[in-house]
C-alpha cells in the first residue's frame, strides 16, 4: 500500500483517486486556490461537479495552505494541476521533493513558453521542482469514464523504468491498466499535437453537419494523415514513431476527436463560425480552455525549432492558418491532397 499525494482536484486528479483507492493505496487530495468551489461540494460529501461522482470516502482532503502536510510521508506525488499551474506548484514543492527521491507522476498536459523557451510538463517539473524522478501519464483517459470505473488503458512513461514498474504494481486495478514506456518526450509531444488534429477532425465534422452529409471517407483520411504527421513530428523532436502508433498517439487522438473540447471548437468553425465567434461560443458554453487553440502557436515554434518543414506537417499548418491567419476552413481538405 502506497501513500499517494494528488495535487489538483480538477477532473483528472479527482478521477484518479478512484482507481488509486480501489488499488489499495492511501490517497490524499490537495485542492489549489482554483479548486475551492469544488472543495465546497466535495468536502461535504457531495458529487464532484466535473466528473459527476462522489469521491471515495476514505481519501484525505487538503486545503490550498496545507501543501506541506499533503506531501509529508508521501511515496508518490501526482501533478494534476492545470498546465499553467505546473510551474508555480513545482516551485512550491521543490523543498519537499528535492533530493528525497519521491517520484513525481505528471498527468498535466501541454507545452508552455517560459522565458522564451518552450518546455514540456516534464521539463518544467524537472527544472522547477528540482527532481529527476518523473513519470508522465498519457493515453485515452476521459476523467468522467475513469471515475465511473470504465475500462481505461494508459501509458506511464519514464526513463526510470524500474520505478514506473513499481508504480504500475501499486496503481493498477482490473479496470485501470498501465503500459510502461521509456519515451516520455514522444508521449508529451503527441499529447500536445493531438489537440491540433482533433480541431481538424472537428472542422470536417462541422462541415459535414452543415451540409447534412456524411464525410466518413474524409474523416478517415484526416485520421490517417494526422497519424502520419504526428509520427514524423515526434520523431523529429527526438521521440519514437511507435509511441504515436499506440495508446499515447492514435488512442488519445481517437478519444479527443470523438468528443473533446478541441473537436467541439473545430466543429463550430466547420459549421461556419469565425474563430473569434467559436471562441466566444465555447466561453458561453462554459467548457473551459481550448488547449489546441492556445498551444498551436507554441507548437508551431517548437516544431520549427526542431527542423520540421511546413510540407512535412501540412495538416498541422492548415489548422494553424485557419486559427491565426484567417484561412478558409477548406484548407484542412487541401492539406490532404
Q: Which residues are near a copy of itself by CB under 8 A?
A: 139-142, 144-146, 148, 150-153, 177, 213-221, 223-224, 227-228, 231, 245-247, 249-252, 254-255, 258-259, 333, 336-337
Nearer residue to a copy of itself within complex by CB, 35 or 252: 252
Least distance between a copy of itself and beta carbon 180 (Å): 14
266 vs 257: CA distance, rounded Å: 10
Nearer residue to a copy of itself within complex by CB, 63 or 228: 228
Least distance between a copy of itself and beta carbon 1 (Å): 22
With vertex at residue 62, the alpha carbon angle to CA 56 and CA 65, rounded to the nearest 5 degrees, is 165
- Please report the sign of the dihedral spanned by the C-alpha atoms of residue 73, residue 79, residue 85, residue 90: positive
Q: Are 141 and 13 in contact (CB under 8 A)?
A: no
Number of Cβ within 10 Å of residue 170's Cβ equals: 17
From 194, 228, 280, 337, active-site residue: 194
Question: Grid coordinates representing 301?
Answer: 515554434
Nearer residue to a copy of itself within complex by CB, 85 or 206: 206
Nearer residue to a copy of itself within complex by CB, 144 or 279: 144
299 vs 87: CA distance, rounded Å: 18
> What is the C-alpha R_g of the chain?
20
Least distance between a copy of itself and beta carbon 138 (Å): 12
Helix (H) or strand (E) holding 202: helix 184-211
Is 54 assigned a catalytic role?
Answer: no
Least distance between a copy of itself and beta carbon 51 (Å): 13
The residues annotated as belonging to the active site are 194
Amino acid at each position: 500500500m502506497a501513500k499517494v499525494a494528488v495535487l489538483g482536484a480538477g477532473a483528472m486528479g479527482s478521477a484518479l483517486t478512484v482507481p488509486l483507492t480501489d488499488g489499495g493505496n492511501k490517497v490524499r487530495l490537495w485542492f489549489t486556490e482554483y479548486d475551492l468551489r469544488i472543495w465546497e461540494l466535495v468536502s461535504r460529501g457531495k458529487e464532484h461537479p466535473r466528473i459527476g461522482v462522489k469521491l471515495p470516502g476514505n481519501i484525505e482532503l487538503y486545503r490550498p495552505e496545507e501543501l506541506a502536510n499533503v506531501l509529508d510521508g508521501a511515496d508518490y506525488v501526482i501533478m494534476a494541476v492545470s498546465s499553467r499551474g505546473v510551474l508555480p506548484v513545482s516551485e512550491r514543492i521543490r523543498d519537499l521533493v528535492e533530493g528525497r527521491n519521491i517520484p513525481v507522476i505528471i498527468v498535466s498536459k501541454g507545452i508552455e513558453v517560459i522565458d522564451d523557451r518552450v518546455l514540456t510538463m516534464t521539463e518544467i517539473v524537472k527544472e522547477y521542482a528540482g527532481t529527476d524522478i518523473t513519470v508522465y501519464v498519457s493515453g485515452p483517459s476521459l476523467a468522467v469514464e475513469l471515475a465511473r470505473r470504465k475500462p481505461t488503458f494508459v501509458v506511464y512513461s519514464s526513463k526510470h523504468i524500474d520505478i514506473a514498474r513499481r508504480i504500475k504494481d501499486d496503481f493498477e486495478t482490473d479496470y485501470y491498466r498501465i503500459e510502461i514506456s521509456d519515451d516520455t518526450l514522444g508521449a508529451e509531444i503527441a499529447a500536445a499535437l493531438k489537440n491540433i488534429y482533433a480541431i481538424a477532425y472537428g472542422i470536417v465534422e462541422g462541415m459535414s453537419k452543415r451540409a447534412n452529409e456524411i464525410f466518413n471517407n474524409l474523416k478517415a483520411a484526416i485520421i490517417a494523415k494526422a497519424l502520419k504527421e504526428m509520427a514524423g513530428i515526434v520523431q523529429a523532436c527526438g521521440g519514437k514513431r511507435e509511441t504515436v502508433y499506440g495508446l499515447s498517439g492514435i488512442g488519445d487522438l481517437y478519444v479527443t476527436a470523438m468528443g473533446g473540447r478541441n473537436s467541439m471548437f473545430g466543429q463550430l468553425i466547420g459549421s461556419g463560425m469565425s474563430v473569434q465567434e467559436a471562441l466566444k461560443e465555447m466561453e458561453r458554453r462554459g467548457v473551459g480552455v481550448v488547449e489546441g487553440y492556445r498551444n498551436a502557436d507554441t507548437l508551431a515554434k517548437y516544431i520549427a525549432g526542431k527542423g520540421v518543414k511546413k510540407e512535412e506537417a501540412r495538416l498541422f499548418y492548415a489548422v494553424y492558418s485557419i486559427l491565426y491567419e484567417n484561412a478558409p476552413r477548406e484548407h484542412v481538405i487541401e492539406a490532404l491532397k
